Each structure stands twice: as C-alpha cells, then as structure tokens.
C-alpha cells in the first residue's frame, strides 16, 4: 500500500512539474501550441467529432450544414485555447487574470451573504469555466466548488491543486449536503456545474434544453431549498481571446419560496440563453443526451 502511494505521489509530482514548466512559457507561445493541437485534434484525430456534430445539429435544427460546420470548427479552436489558458493558470500572477476577467454584479453575492444566506451559484460548461477558479481572489467570502472525485487518484489530486490555487475550496458532491446544512458553517458560496446528464432520471426535472427533452440534476435545487439559500446563475461570455465577462444573474433570493422545479427551469432558460449567445463555447464533446 505504501509503495502504491509513493508511486502515485511521484507520478503526481512529475505531471505537475511538467505542467508548471510549460505554464512558464509566454502566452503567445502557448496559443501557438494550441493552434497546432487544433490541427491534430480537428483534422487528424477528429476527437469526438461525430458526437460534437450530432449534438450541435440536434440542438439547432434550423441551421444549415454550413452553419453547423462553422460552429463545430470554432468550438474546437476555443477548446484547445481554453486548455492553454488553464495551463497558464498554474503559475501566472493573479493580477494577470484580474485584467482578463471582468465580473459584473458581484455585489449581489455580498448582499445575500450579509443577510446570512448561503448562495448557490449555478452555471454551465460555457466559455472557459475553469477561469472561475480565480473568483475567490475577487471575493472575501468562502467559495466552494462542488465536484465529483475522479477515479484516478493522481488526476484527482492534480485537479484539486490547479483549481484551489486562488483560494477556491473543493468539496465532494457527497459531502456538500452535510456541509451546507451544518449549524457551525458560516454562509458561503457553492458553485454547481449542473448541465451534465444525471444518472438518476426524475420526471419532475425533465425540461426542454436546446430543442431536446433533457433530464437535469435535481440536487442543486433540492439543496438550495433545504438550505433556504439564494440562487444565482453565472453568465459567461468571451469578450476576446483570453478575456471573459462573468455576470451574476439572480434566480431567487430564497429557494424555499419557489415552487418545485421552478429554480431548475430558470436555470435551464438562462443556460439556453448563454449557449445561444455563443454556441461554439459550450462543451459539446460530452454525451449530454446519452440517457
């Protein structure tokens, strides 16, 4: 057991050292590497290309083939550039990102926390959502990112290391209920990426997303209702390459006062609006409608 842990620790340090060394390169060089990666991923390997084309075509039935193809190609360009930006986050000074990430209406979170309410912040895989790891640098409140632990201990440890660099605290999805309902915990912010396909289907949480009937995670709404939390949606758009705007949009000030499914419906509506604004920026490679 100790030998296995030692090997895992060595592998983790090796992988992290390589990523850190690459992150020290100028951003222009990292973007050049990303451009080369795009050629390999899009033209040669065709990474999940069929899934991407199918997802986009079904989501936008009104678009012609040429429009679909243009969205697919731009998606892959953005995808590889996002990876380059994430790598840069490993070593870059936070002041660099302070100039590249614009937050709007962030004081909305302050008002809810000051009124002694937890804040559930929901978002989708839009734009470079990993840049939200920078959010604690702009806020003096505790911010937790709810995540599902990865099967690989090495990759899981690496993910936690990269995402917590600017003060983000990661909390496993199985622990978040106990944490948010604890009488000893102060009001905090909890981030939920709620646009993936849930394992458990609930008819009450079946909505129309991008012209397709879709089951949506119920945990985010149920937790918000139990904790009497405020709920906010983060609308992420890309202003230009490497520059993002993140807008805090209120969904409700007290989840307990909302009807069943109402919070999730508003989330789906806001997510749809976000995707329609920049259809190339959503994570089309995941099998959202596999169930």
Topology of the domain covering 2-281: Glycerol-3-phosphate (1)-acyltransferase (3.40.1130)
Check pLDDT > 90 for residue 140: no
Check pLDDT > 80 for residue 290: no
Select the more confidently predicted residue: 180 or 113.
113
Check pLDDT > 70 for residue 244: yes
Distance of alpha carbon 191 from alpha carbon 146, whole angstroms: 6
Which of the 8 DSSP states describes residue 45?
Answer: I
Take residue 48 and report the two structure tokens written for it.
């999940």
Determine the pLDDT at residue 291: 64
Determine the pLDDT at residue 4: 79
Spatial neighbors of 287 by CB under 8 A, at least 6 apart, are 51, 197
Distance of alpha carbon 21 from alpha carbon 239, whole angstroms: 28
Do the strands 230-240 and 189-193 form a parallel or antiparallel pair, or are they unpaired? Answer: unpaired
Looking at residues 115-130, what average pLDDT do you find?
94
Spatial neighbors of 261 by CB under 8 A, at least 6 apart, are 204, 205, 221
**Whole-number percent of the chain with pLDDT over 70:** 99
Distance of alpha carbon 57 from alpha carbon 61, whole angstroms: 6
Largest CA distance in the chain: 58
Can you give the residue ranges of every domain in the chain?
2-281
Determine the pLDDT at residue 186: 85
Looking at residues 162-181, what average pLDDT do you find?
90
How many residues are present in the chain?
A: 291
Determine the pLDDT at residue 201: 82
Other beta carbons within 10 Å of 251: 23
Select the more confidently predicted residue: 57 or 177.
57
What is the three-class DSSP state of 286? coil
**Closest by Cα among 258, 148, 260 to 198:** 148
The single residue listed with the structure tokens 């890309």 is 238
Determine the pLDDT at residue 198: 86
Determine the pLDDT at residue 192: 94
Q: What is the mean pLDDT of the chain?
A: 93
Determine the pLDDT at residue 202: 87
The single residue listed with the structure tokens 């912040």 is 121
Where would I find the beta strands (DSSP E) of the chain? Answer: 101-104, 119-123, 143-147, 169-172, 189-193, 206-209, 212-215, 230-240, 243-252
Determine the pLDDT at residue 1: 65
Check pLDDT > 70 for residue 36: yes
């Amino acid at each position: 057991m100790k030998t296995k842990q030692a090997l895992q620790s060595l592998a983790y340090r090796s992988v992290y050292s390589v990523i850190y060394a690459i992150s020290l390169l100028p951003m222009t060089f990292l973007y050049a590497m990303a451009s080369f990666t795009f050629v390999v991923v899009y033209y040669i390997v065709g990474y999940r290309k069929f899934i991407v084309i199918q997802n986009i075509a079904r989501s936008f039935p009104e678009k012609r083939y040429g429009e679909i193809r243009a969205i697919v190609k731009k998606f892959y360009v953005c995808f590889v550039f996002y990876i380059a930006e994430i790598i840069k986050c490993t070593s870059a000074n936070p002041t660099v990102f302070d100039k590249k990430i614009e937050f709007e209406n962030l004081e909305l979170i302050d008002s809810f926390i000051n009124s002694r309410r937890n804040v559930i912040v929901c978002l989708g895989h839009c734009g470079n959502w990993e840049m939200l790891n920078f959010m604690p640098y702009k806020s003096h409140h505790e911010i937790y990112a709810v995540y599902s632990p990865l099967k690989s201990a090495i990759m899981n440890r690496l993910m936690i290391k990269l995402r917590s660099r600017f003060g983000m605290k990661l909390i496993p999805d199985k622990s978040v209920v106990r944490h948010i309902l604890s009488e000893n915990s102060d009001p905090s912010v909890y981030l939920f990426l709620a646009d993936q396909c849930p394992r458990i289907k609930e008819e009450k949480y079946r909505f129309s997303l991008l012209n397709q009937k879709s089951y949506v995670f119920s945990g985010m709404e149920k937790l918000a209702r139990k904790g009497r939390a405020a709920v906010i949606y983060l609308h992420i758009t890309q202003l230009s390459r490497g520059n993002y705007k993140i807008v805090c949009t209120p969904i409700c000030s007290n989840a307990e006062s909302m009807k069943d499914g109402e919070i999730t419906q508003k989330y789906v509506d806001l997510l749809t609006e976000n995707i329609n604004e920049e259809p190339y920026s959503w994570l089309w490679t995941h099998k959202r409608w596999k169930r």
